[in-house]
Amino acid sequence: AYHLSPRMHEYCVALVSSLAPRLNVRLSGVDLSDTLHANKLAVCLGDGSRYDKHYDNMGDGDLRKLTALLYLQRSWTDANGGCFRMYTRGEGLEPDGDGELPHVDLPPLGGRLLVFWADEMVHAVNPSQASGGEDEHRWALTVWFQATDPQGISFDAEMEQRHFADAGTSGLGVSG
């Protein structure tokens, strides 16, 4: 649907074609495609809209390796919610009193760029509210850089068990 938003499409293509080769040089063992990518503009309209805990890479042939997420909203307050919840890694980390594993909540500030491994970072988006209308919507442009080889995609059975065993679902089965 290039004709609907040509500038966004051109931005994503330019980003991937120029950044992927630079990342390949700087990051050992990573081979990102400079031609293949996926992108999404997500708008959380409020009323508690959220994304449950997941990985961005769903497995089963999915080549998304690196997620770059740019927040585009003009303003944000604590009342708007919608924080990005990044679950921390590490041995021996126990759930808190609410059963929640250790995490960090990052406010979706306009202009903030988050970059993380799509196949390794378990994350969620907390419920968002937008009682003030469109200016309070949570806008996020996500670009996924793809690996050139399926062998470059990670799977951590221990993390999968730790985060998704009680839910009876797999974090690889939910798209972000």
> With contact defined as beta carbons under 8 Å apart, do 64 and 46 qualify?
no
pLDDT for the residue 15: 87
pLDDT for the residue 174: 37
Name the strands in the sheet holding 123-128, side by side, starting at the edge strand that comes first in the sequence. Answer: 49-54, 123-128, 84-87, 103-106
| pLDDT exceeds 60 at position 142 | yes
pLDDT for the residue 176: 38
Q: Residue 11 and residue 19: Cα distance in Å, rounded?
A: 12
Q: What is the mean pLDDT of residues 95-120?
A: 89
| pLDDT exceeds 70 at position 2 | no
Lowest mean pLDDT among 25-39, 44-58, 79-93, 112-126: 79-93
| pLDDT exceeds 80 at position 97 | no
pLDDT for the residue 113: 95
What is the chain's mean pLDDT, rounded?
86
